[in-house]
Amino acid sequence: MAIENIKTVVLMMYENRSFDNMLGHLSFEGLQPQADGLTPPLNRDAYANVHAGGMFFPFQRAADEQLQFDLPHDYNFVATQLSPGSDGPRMVGFIEAYAQSTGTEPNLLCDPMCFFGSKQVPVTSFLAQTFATCDRWFCPLPTSTQPNRTVAVCGQSEIFQTKFQDIPNTGDMFAWMHANNIDYRVYSDGLTFFALYVGLWPTIFTSGRWRPYETLAADLNGPNPPQVVIVEPSFQDGPHIGPDHPNDNHPPLAVGWGEDLLRRTYQALSTSPVWDNSLMVVYYDEHGGFYDHVTPPPFDQAGTGNAMPPSTPAAPVPYNTLGPRVPALLVSPWVAPRTVIHDQYDHTSVLQFLAERFTPGKPFSDNVARRAAQGIKSLSSALTAAASHLTAPAPPSDPIAFSYARIGDNIATPPDNAMGQAFEGAALKMLAEHPAEAERLYPSLGLWKTAIDQARAHNSSTTVSAT
Protein backbone atom coordinates (compact mmCIF):
# COMPACT_ATOMS: atom_id res chain seq x y z
CA MET A 1 0.00 0.00 0.00
CA ALA A 2 1.38 3.40 -0.99
CA ILE A 3 -0.03 5.02 2.12
CA GLU A 4 2.20 2.93 4.37
CA ASN A 5 5.26 4.44 2.74
CA ILE A 6 4.42 7.74 4.40
CA LYS A 7 5.82 7.85 7.90
CA THR A 8 6.16 11.61 8.38
CA VAL A 9 3.48 14.10 7.39
CA VAL A 10 4.46 17.78 7.32
CA LEU A 11 1.59 20.28 7.26
CA MET A 12 2.35 23.86 6.32
CA MET A 13 -0.64 26.15 6.04
CA TYR A 14 -0.21 29.69 4.79
CA GLU A 15 -2.72 32.52 4.80
CA ASN A 16 -5.11 34.05 2.36
CA ARG A 17 -4.26 33.44 -1.28
CA SER A 18 -6.33 31.96 -4.09
CA PHE A 19 -5.11 29.29 -6.49
CA ASP A 20 -5.07 31.72 -9.40
CA ASN A 21 -3.14 34.30 -7.34
CA MET A 22 -0.23 31.97 -6.53
CA LEU A 23 -0.43 29.23 -9.17
CA GLY A 24 -2.48 30.69 -12.03
CA HIS A 25 0.85 31.29 -13.75
CA LEU A 26 1.44 27.56 -14.24
CA SER A 27 -0.90 27.48 -17.23
CA PHE A 28 -0.51 31.14 -18.16
CA GLU A 29 3.22 30.68 -18.70
CA GLY A 30 2.80 27.20 -20.18
CA LEU A 31 4.77 25.60 -17.34
CA GLN A 32 2.00 23.16 -16.40
CA PRO A 33 -0.64 23.43 -19.13
CA GLN A 34 -2.77 20.75 -17.51
CA ALA A 35 -3.22 22.87 -14.36
CA ASP A 36 -6.52 24.74 -14.32
CA GLY A 37 -4.97 28.16 -13.89
CA LEU A 38 -5.28 31.26 -16.00
CA THR A 39 -4.81 31.28 -19.76
CA PRO A 40 -4.48 34.13 -22.21
CA PRO A 41 -6.24 36.27 -23.20
CA LEU A 42 -6.97 37.58 -19.72
CA ASN A 43 -9.60 40.09 -20.79
CA ARG A 44 -12.17 37.43 -21.59
CA ASP A 45 -15.78 37.11 -20.46
CA ALA A 46 -15.02 34.07 -18.32
CA TYR A 47 -12.68 36.08 -16.07
CA ALA A 48 -14.56 39.40 -16.02
CA ASN A 49 -15.55 41.06 -12.77
CA VAL A 50 -17.72 44.15 -12.63
CA HIS A 51 -18.07 47.12 -10.36
CA ALA A 52 -20.16 50.24 -11.03
CA GLY A 53 -20.38 49.38 -14.72
CA GLY A 54 -16.62 48.95 -15.18
CA MET A 55 -15.03 45.63 -16.10
CA PHE A 56 -11.96 44.19 -14.41
CA PHE A 57 -9.72 41.31 -15.45
CA PRO A 58 -6.85 39.30 -13.98
CA PHE A 59 -3.40 40.78 -14.41
CA GLN A 60 0.12 39.76 -13.57
CA ARG A 61 1.77 41.80 -10.85
CA ALA A 62 4.81 43.72 -11.95
CA ALA A 63 6.50 42.99 -8.63
CA ASP A 64 5.95 41.29 -5.28
CA GLU A 65 5.04 44.29 -3.19
CA GLN A 66 3.07 45.02 -0.08
CA LEU A 67 -0.55 45.82 -0.97
CA GLN A 68 -2.33 48.91 0.26
CA PHE A 69 -5.11 47.00 1.97
CA ASP A 70 -5.97 43.60 3.26
CA LEU A 71 -8.66 42.21 0.99
CA PRO A 72 -12.18 41.44 2.25
CA HIS A 73 -12.84 37.78 2.95
CA ASP A 74 -15.35 37.29 5.76
CA TYR A 75 -18.57 35.44 4.93
CA ASN A 76 -20.59 38.47 3.83
CA PHE A 77 -17.86 39.64 1.46
CA VAL A 78 -17.30 36.12 0.16
CA ALA A 79 -21.01 36.01 -0.68
CA THR A 80 -20.52 39.18 -2.74
CA GLN A 81 -17.41 37.76 -4.38
CA LEU A 82 -19.14 34.54 -5.37
CA SER A 83 -22.27 36.41 -6.53
CA PRO A 84 -24.41 33.29 -6.79
CA GLY A 85 -26.92 33.09 -9.61
CA SER A 86 -29.63 30.55 -10.29
CA ASP A 87 -27.05 27.89 -11.11
CA GLY A 88 -24.41 28.61 -8.49
CA PRO A 89 -21.55 31.03 -7.88
CA ARG A 90 -20.51 33.30 -10.73
CA MET A 91 -17.20 34.64 -9.32
CA VAL A 92 -17.88 38.16 -10.58
CA GLY A 93 -18.00 40.22 -7.36
CA PHE A 94 -14.39 40.39 -6.15
CA ILE A 95 -13.97 44.04 -7.12
CA GLU A 96 -17.39 44.94 -5.78
CA ALA A 97 -16.46 43.47 -2.39
CA TYR A 98 -13.13 45.31 -2.48
CA ALA A 99 -14.82 48.62 -3.23
CA GLN A 100 -17.32 48.07 -0.41
CA SER A 101 -14.61 47.07 2.03
CA THR A 102 -12.03 49.76 1.29
CA GLY A 103 -14.35 52.62 0.36
CA THR A 104 -12.11 53.38 -2.61
CA GLU A 105 -12.64 53.55 -6.35
CA PRO A 106 -10.79 50.43 -7.53
CA ASN A 107 -7.87 50.65 -9.91
CA LEU A 108 -8.42 49.04 -13.30
CA LEU A 109 -5.62 46.69 -12.32
CA CYS A 110 -7.03 46.07 -8.88
CA ASP A 111 -5.31 43.88 -6.27
CA PRO A 112 -7.99 41.15 -5.94
CA MET A 113 -7.46 40.31 -9.63
CA CYS A 114 -3.67 40.07 -9.51
CA PHE A 115 -1.56 36.97 -9.92
CA PHE A 116 2.12 36.23 -9.55
CA GLY A 117 4.47 35.11 -12.29
CA SER A 118 6.78 32.17 -11.70
CA LYS A 119 9.73 34.48 -11.04
CA GLN A 120 7.89 36.20 -8.19
CA VAL A 121 7.05 32.96 -6.38
CA PRO A 122 10.11 30.90 -7.34
CA VAL A 123 9.91 28.32 -4.56
CA THR A 124 6.17 27.74 -4.83
CA SER A 125 6.49 27.46 -8.59
CA PHE A 126 9.46 25.10 -8.33
CA LEU A 127 7.62 22.76 -5.97
CA ALA A 128 4.51 22.88 -8.19
CA GLN A 129 6.53 22.00 -11.27
CA THR A 130 8.55 19.30 -9.49
CA PHE A 131 5.94 17.50 -7.41
CA ALA A 132 2.11 17.53 -7.39
CA THR A 133 -0.19 20.53 -7.75
CA CYS A 134 -3.79 20.14 -6.57
CA ASP A 135 -6.02 22.29 -8.74
CA ARG A 136 -9.32 21.34 -7.09
CA TRP A 137 -8.46 22.04 -3.45
CA PHE A 138 -11.13 24.34 -2.03
CA CYS A 139 -11.15 25.95 1.37
CA PRO A 140 -13.88 24.14 3.30
CA LEU A 141 -16.09 27.15 4.07
CA PRO A 142 -16.96 30.27 2.04
CA THR A 143 -15.67 32.55 4.80
CA SER A 144 -12.53 33.71 6.56
CA THR A 145 -9.49 32.51 8.48
CA GLN A 146 -10.74 31.31 11.85
CA PRO A 147 -13.60 29.09 10.63
CA ASN A 148 -11.49 27.58 7.85
CA ARG A 149 -8.51 26.91 10.10
CA THR A 150 -10.90 25.39 12.64
CA VAL A 151 -12.21 22.96 10.03
CA ALA A 152 -8.60 22.13 9.19
CA VAL A 153 -7.85 21.17 12.78
CA CYS A 154 -11.25 19.93 14.00
CA GLY A 155 -13.10 18.74 10.90
CA GLN A 156 -15.95 21.19 11.53
CA SER A 157 -16.37 24.74 12.80
CA GLU A 158 -18.69 26.09 15.46
CA ILE A 159 -17.92 29.64 14.30
CA PHE A 160 -18.64 31.27 10.94
CA GLN A 161 -16.61 34.46 11.12
CA THR A 162 -13.29 35.81 12.33
CA LYS A 163 -13.21 38.00 15.41
CA PHE A 164 -11.79 38.18 18.92
CA GLN A 165 -13.39 35.10 20.41
CA ASP A 166 -12.50 31.91 22.20
CA ILE A 167 -12.75 29.44 19.35
CA PRO A 168 -14.22 26.07 20.31
CA ASN A 169 -11.81 23.22 19.54
CA THR A 170 -14.26 20.32 19.73
CA GLY A 171 -12.76 17.22 18.15
CA ASP A 172 -9.37 18.77 17.45
CA MET A 173 -6.62 16.76 15.82
CA PHE A 174 -4.28 17.12 18.80
CA ALA A 175 -6.66 15.28 21.10
CA TRP A 176 -7.14 12.74 18.34
CA MET A 177 -3.38 12.27 17.98
CA HIS A 178 -2.93 11.94 21.74
CA ALA A 179 -5.69 9.36 21.87
CA ASN A 180 -4.10 7.37 19.06
CA ASN A 181 -0.49 7.64 20.25
CA ILE A 182 0.60 9.61 17.20
CA ASP A 183 3.75 11.59 17.83
CA TYR A 184 3.40 15.18 16.62
CA ARG A 185 5.05 18.53 17.04
CA VAL A 186 4.15 22.09 16.15
CA TYR A 187 6.99 24.36 14.98
CA SER A 188 6.02 28.02 15.08
CA ASP A 189 7.93 30.93 13.64
CA GLY A 190 5.94 33.30 15.88
CA LEU A 191 3.02 33.03 18.27
CA THR A 192 1.13 29.85 17.41
CA PHE A 193 -2.28 30.22 15.77
CA PHE A 194 -3.54 27.67 18.29
CA ALA A 195 -3.22 30.34 21.00
CA LEU A 196 -6.66 31.43 19.75
CA TYR A 197 -8.12 28.20 21.13
CA VAL A 198 -8.10 28.57 24.91
CA GLY A 199 -9.08 24.91 25.20
CA LEU A 200 -5.72 23.98 23.69
CA TRP A 201 -3.63 26.00 26.13
CA PRO A 202 -2.97 23.14 28.54
CA THR A 203 -1.68 21.06 25.64
CA ILE A 204 0.39 23.93 24.25
CA PHE A 205 1.97 24.68 27.60
CA THR A 206 2.50 21.22 29.01
CA SER A 207 2.94 18.76 26.16
CA GLY A 208 6.41 19.92 25.13
CA ARG A 209 5.27 19.59 21.53
CA TRP A 210 5.13 23.30 20.67
CA ARG A 211 8.61 24.39 19.66
CA PRO A 212 10.39 27.24 17.91
CA TYR A 213 10.69 26.88 14.15
CA GLU A 214 14.48 27.00 14.47
CA THR A 215 14.48 23.52 16.01
CA LEU A 216 12.70 21.88 13.07
CA ALA A 217 15.77 20.81 11.08
CA ALA A 218 17.51 19.35 14.13
CA ASP A 219 14.40 17.42 15.14
CA LEU A 220 13.94 15.99 11.65
CA ASN A 221 17.52 14.80 11.80
CA GLY A 222 17.15 13.51 15.36
CA PRO A 223 16.62 9.96 16.56
CA ASN A 224 12.83 10.20 16.96
CA PRO A 225 11.34 12.44 14.30
CA PRO A 226 7.63 13.08 14.82
CA GLN A 227 5.03 11.39 12.67
CA VAL A 228 3.06 14.59 12.15
CA VAL A 229 4.80 17.94 11.88
CA ILE A 230 2.88 21.20 11.78
CA VAL A 231 4.90 24.16 10.57
CA GLU A 232 3.44 27.57 11.38
CA PRO A 233 4.62 30.80 9.79
CA SER A 234 4.95 34.03 11.69
CA PHE A 235 1.46 35.47 11.37
CA GLN A 236 1.19 39.02 10.17
CA ASP A 237 -1.61 39.71 12.60
CA GLY A 238 0.27 38.17 15.51
CA PRO A 239 2.40 40.11 17.99
CA HIS A 240 5.82 40.97 16.61
CA ILE A 241 8.91 42.25 18.22
CA GLY A 242 12.59 42.33 17.41
CA PRO A 243 13.89 40.87 14.14
CA ASP A 244 10.74 38.83 13.51
CA HIS A 245 9.35 39.03 9.97
CA PRO A 246 5.78 37.98 9.26
CA ASN A 247 5.90 35.33 6.56
CA ASP A 248 2.38 33.92 6.38
CA ASN A 249 1.63 35.57 2.98
CA HIS A 250 -1.43 37.30 4.41
CA PRO A 251 -2.21 40.48 2.46
CA PRO A 252 -1.21 43.22 2.49
CA LEU A 253 2.09 41.43 3.11
CA ALA A 254 4.26 40.62 0.12
CA VAL A 255 5.11 36.94 -0.32
CA GLY A 256 8.92 37.08 -0.40
CA TRP A 257 9.33 36.17 3.27
CA GLY A 258 6.84 33.34 2.84
CA GLU A 259 8.82 32.01 -0.11
CA ASP A 260 11.93 32.10 2.05
CA LEU A 261 10.20 30.11 4.81
CA LEU A 262 8.98 27.58 2.24
CA ARG A 263 12.48 27.16 0.85
CA ARG A 264 13.98 26.67 4.32
CA THR A 265 11.30 24.17 5.30
CA TYR A 266 11.66 22.17 2.08
CA GLN A 267 15.44 22.17 2.52
CA ALA A 268 15.13 21.00 6.12
CA LEU A 269 12.82 18.16 5.14
CA SER A 270 14.43 17.11 1.87
CA THR A 271 17.92 16.87 3.36
CA SER A 272 16.79 14.93 6.43
CA PRO A 273 16.58 11.16 6.85
CA VAL A 274 12.77 11.30 6.92
CA TRP A 275 12.50 12.61 3.32
CA ASP A 276 12.22 9.16 1.72
CA ASN A 277 9.02 8.44 3.63
CA SER A 278 7.51 11.87 3.95
CA LEU A 279 4.61 13.84 2.57
CA MET A 280 4.67 17.62 2.87
CA VAL A 281 1.38 19.43 2.32
CA VAL A 282 1.62 23.12 1.47
CA TYR A 283 -1.81 24.75 1.51
CA TYR A 284 -3.65 27.96 2.34
CA ASP A 285 -6.41 28.50 4.86
CA GLU A 286 -8.64 30.45 2.45
CA HIS A 287 -8.53 32.64 -0.63
CA GLY A 288 -8.09 35.93 1.24
CA GLY A 289 -10.29 37.92 -1.15
CA PHE A 290 -8.21 37.13 -4.24
CA TYR A 291 -10.02 36.21 -7.43
CA ASP A 292 -10.22 32.61 -8.54
CA HIS A 293 -11.95 31.62 -11.75
CA VAL A 294 -13.15 28.16 -10.70
CA THR A 295 -16.64 27.95 -9.24
CA PRO A 296 -16.76 26.23 -5.82
CA PRO A 297 -19.06 23.21 -5.93
CA PRO A 298 -22.33 22.96 -3.97
CA PHE A 299 -21.91 21.63 -0.46
CA ASP A 300 -24.13 20.96 2.54
CA GLN A 301 -22.29 22.87 5.27
CA ALA A 302 -24.97 22.61 7.96
CA GLY A 303 -25.10 18.85 7.52
CA THR A 304 -21.39 18.55 8.24
CA GLY A 305 -21.46 20.23 11.64
CA ASN A 306 -20.68 23.81 10.69
CA ALA A 307 -22.21 26.93 12.21
CA MET A 308 -24.18 28.91 9.66
CA PRO A 309 -24.05 32.71 9.37
CA PRO A 310 -27.21 34.79 9.62
CA SER A 311 -29.06 35.12 6.38
CA THR A 312 -32.19 37.11 5.66
CA PRO A 313 -34.17 37.74 2.48
CA ALA A 314 -32.86 41.30 2.56
CA ALA A 315 -29.27 40.20 3.09
CA PRO A 316 -29.00 36.61 1.89
CA VAL A 317 -25.79 34.76 2.67
CA PRO A 318 -25.69 31.57 0.64
CA TYR A 319 -23.46 29.22 2.59
CA ASN A 320 -24.13 26.23 0.42
CA THR A 321 -20.87 25.72 -1.43
CA LEU A 322 -17.27 25.04 -0.58
CA GLY A 323 -15.10 28.12 -0.32
CA PRO A 324 -12.95 29.38 -3.20
CA ARG A 325 -10.02 27.35 -4.46
CA VAL A 326 -6.71 27.72 -2.66
CA PRO A 327 -3.15 26.85 -3.68
CA ALA A 328 -2.13 23.37 -2.57
CA LEU A 329 0.99 21.32 -3.23
CA LEU A 330 1.89 17.76 -2.30
CA VAL A 331 5.65 17.43 -1.95
CA SER A 332 6.87 13.88 -1.58
CA PRO A 333 8.82 11.10 -3.27
CA TRP A 334 5.47 9.29 -3.29
CA VAL A 335 3.60 11.53 -5.73
CA ALA A 336 4.05 11.45 -9.48
CA PRO A 337 6.57 14.07 -10.51
CA ARG A 338 5.35 17.15 -12.38
CA THR A 339 1.75 16.15 -11.96
CA VAL A 340 -1.55 17.94 -11.49
CA ILE A 341 -4.14 16.26 -9.28
CA HIS A 342 -7.70 17.16 -10.23
CA ASP A 343 -9.36 15.32 -7.32
CA GLN A 344 -11.62 17.43 -5.13
CA TYR A 345 -9.92 18.19 -1.85
CA ASP A 346 -10.46 20.48 1.09
CA HIS A 347 -8.64 20.81 4.41
CA THR A 348 -10.39 17.73 5.78
CA SER A 349 -8.62 15.69 3.08
CA VAL A 350 -5.63 15.90 5.42
CA LEU A 351 -7.66 14.61 8.37
CA GLN A 352 -9.04 11.78 6.22
CA PHE A 353 -5.52 10.88 5.21
CA LEU A 354 -4.15 10.95 8.76
CA ALA A 355 -6.93 8.61 9.86
CA GLU A 356 -6.33 6.25 6.91
CA ARG A 357 -2.63 6.19 7.69
CA PHE A 358 -2.61 6.00 11.47
CA THR A 359 -6.01 4.54 12.44
CA PRO A 360 -6.95 2.38 9.44
CA GLY A 361 -10.64 1.56 9.21
CA LYS A 362 -11.62 4.28 11.67
CA PRO A 363 -12.55 7.71 10.24
CA PHE A 364 -11.20 10.86 11.87
CA SER A 365 -14.71 11.95 12.84
CA ASP A 366 -18.31 11.67 11.71
CA ASN A 367 -18.26 15.13 10.17
CA VAL A 368 -15.09 14.41 8.20
CA ALA A 369 -16.73 11.21 6.99
CA ARG A 370 -19.80 13.23 5.97
CA ARG A 371 -17.61 15.56 3.98
CA ALA A 372 -16.01 12.56 2.31
CA ALA A 373 -19.49 11.30 1.43
CA GLN A 374 -20.09 14.60 -0.36
CA GLY A 375 -17.07 14.08 -2.59
CA ILE A 376 -14.06 15.30 -0.60
CA LYS A 377 -11.21 12.91 -1.33
CA SER A 378 -8.38 11.80 0.93
CA LEU A 379 -4.84 12.78 0.00
CA SER A 380 -4.11 9.09 -0.40
CA SER A 381 -5.68 9.41 -3.86
CA ALA A 382 -2.56 11.32 -4.97
CA LEU A 383 0.01 8.78 -3.80
CA THR A 384 1.88 6.46 -6.12
CA ALA A 385 3.02 2.91 -5.51
CA ALA A 386 6.58 3.68 -6.58
CA ALA A 387 8.80 6.44 -5.34
CA SER A 388 10.34 9.21 -7.42
CA HIS A 389 12.70 11.92 -6.35
CA LEU A 390 14.25 9.89 -3.56
CA THR A 391 17.09 12.29 -4.06
CA ALA A 392 15.25 15.54 -3.63
CA PRO A 393 15.94 18.24 -6.22
CA ALA A 394 17.49 21.38 -4.79
CA PRO A 395 15.17 24.37 -4.68
CA PRO A 396 16.00 27.38 -6.83
CA SER A 397 18.67 29.56 -5.37
CA ASP A 398 17.28 32.70 -7.05
CA PRO A 399 17.37 35.66 -4.76
CA ILE A 400 13.96 36.41 -3.29
CA ALA A 401 12.75 39.99 -3.17
CA PHE A 402 12.01 40.92 0.41
CA SER A 403 9.50 43.69 0.35
CA TYR A 404 9.18 45.91 3.37
CA ALA A 405 7.07 44.34 6.07
CA ARG A 406 5.40 46.51 8.64
CA ILE A 407 6.65 45.40 12.00
CA GLY A 408 5.44 47.20 15.06
CA ASP A 409 4.09 50.13 13.06
CA ASN A 410 0.72 49.91 14.64
CA ILE A 411 1.39 48.86 18.21
CA ALA A 412 0.73 52.38 19.50
CA THR A 413 -2.95 51.77 18.78
CA PRO A 414 -4.96 48.56 19.19
CA PRO A 415 -5.29 46.47 16.03
CA ASP A 416 -8.10 47.57 13.74
CA ASN A 417 -8.75 44.18 12.17
CA ALA A 418 -10.41 41.07 13.54
CA MET A 419 -7.41 38.77 13.34
CA GLY A 420 -5.11 41.36 14.91
CA GLN A 421 -7.57 41.80 17.76
CA ALA A 422 -7.88 38.04 18.17
CA PHE A 423 -4.12 37.48 18.31
CA GLU A 424 -3.54 40.41 20.64
CA GLY A 425 -6.39 39.40 22.91
CA ALA A 426 -5.09 35.82 23.11
CA ALA A 427 -1.52 36.94 23.78
CA LEU A 428 -2.55 39.33 26.55
CA LYS A 429 -4.80 36.73 28.13
CA MET A 430 -2.00 34.17 28.01
CA LEU A 431 0.37 36.59 29.70
CA ALA A 432 -2.20 37.52 32.34
CA GLU A 433 -3.30 34.01 33.20
CA HIS A 434 -0.19 31.93 32.49
CA PRO A 435 2.73 34.36 32.58
CA ALA A 436 5.44 31.83 33.36
CA GLU A 437 4.36 29.31 30.75
CA ALA A 438 3.76 31.96 28.09
CA GLU A 439 7.16 33.57 28.58
CA ARG A 440 8.91 30.22 28.67
CA LEU A 441 7.43 29.28 25.30
CA TYR A 442 7.59 32.80 23.81
CA PRO A 443 10.39 34.67 25.56
CA SER A 444 9.79 37.93 23.68
CA LEU A 445 6.08 38.12 24.50
CA GLY A 446 6.62 39.98 27.77
CA LEU A 447 8.79 42.53 26.03
CA TRP A 448 6.10 43.00 23.41
CA LYS A 449 3.51 43.59 26.15
CA THR A 450 5.68 46.20 27.81
CA ALA A 451 6.25 47.91 24.49
CA ILE A 452 2.56 48.15 23.57
CA ASP A 453 1.63 49.34 27.07
CA GLN A 454 4.20 52.11 26.94
CA ALA A 455 3.41 53.04 23.34
CA ARG A 456 -0.31 53.30 24.04
CA ALA A 457 0.19 55.25 27.25
CA HIS A 458 2.42 57.63 25.30
CA ASN A 459 -0.10 57.81 22.46
CA SER A 460 -2.94 58.46 24.89
CA SER A 461 -1.10 61.22 26.78
CA THR A 462 -0.11 62.85 23.47
CA THR A 463 -3.73 62.81 22.36
CA VAL A 464 -4.93 64.33 25.64
CA SER A 465 -2.27 67.05 25.49
CA ALA A 466 -3.22 67.89 21.93
CA THR A 467 -6.85 68.18 22.94
Interface residues with another protein (CB under 8 A)? 40-46, 48, 50-55, 57-62, 66, 68, 83, 85-87, 90-93, 105, 107-109, 117, 241, 404, 408-409, 411-412, 447, 450-451, 454-455, 458
Report the amino acid identity of residue 382: A
438 vs 155: CA distance, rounded Å: 27
Nearer to another protein, 103 or 208 (CB): 103
| Residue 216 C-beta: closest distance to another protein, Å | 27
| Residue 191 C-beta: closest distance to another protein, Å | 17
Nearer to another protein, 109 or 428 (CB): 109
CA-CA distances (angstroms) from residue 409 to 185, 250, 294, 382, 415?
Answer: 32, 16, 37, 43, 10
| Residue 449 C-beta: closest distance to another protein, Å | 10
Nearer to another protein, 9 or 26 (CB): 26
137 vs 344: CA distance, rounded Å: 6
Nearer to another protein, 60 or 384 (CB): 60
List CB contacts of 284: < 8 A, sequence separation 6 or more: 13, 14, 15, 16, 17, 22, 139, 249, 326, 327, 328
Q: Are 266 and 48 in contact (CB under 8 A)?
A: no
CA-CA distances (angstroms) from residue 208 to 15, 37, 230, 292?
Answer: 26, 41, 14, 40
Nearer to another protein, 168 or 408 (CB): 408
| Residue 293 C-beta: closest distance to another protein, Å | 11
Nearer to another protein, 394 or 457 (CB): 457
Cβ-count burial 314-325 (b if 16+ within 10 Å, e if not): eeebbbbbbbbb
Pairing state between β 184-188 and 210-212: parallel
List CB contacts of 424: < 8 A, sequence separation 6 or more: 239, 414, 415, 452
| Residue 270 C-beta: closest distance to another protein, Å | 31
Sign of the CA dihedral running 396, 399, 402, 403 = negative
| Residue 408 C-beta: closest distance to another protein, Å | 6
| Residue 405 C-beta: closest distance to another protein, Å | 10
Q: Are 346 and 376 in contact (CB under 8 A)?
A: yes
CA dihedral 209, 215, 220, 222 (to 10 degrees): -90
List CB contacts of 86: < 8 A, sequence separation 6 or more: none
Nearer to another protein, 33 or 303 (CB): 33
Nearer to another protein, 66 or 380 (CB): 66
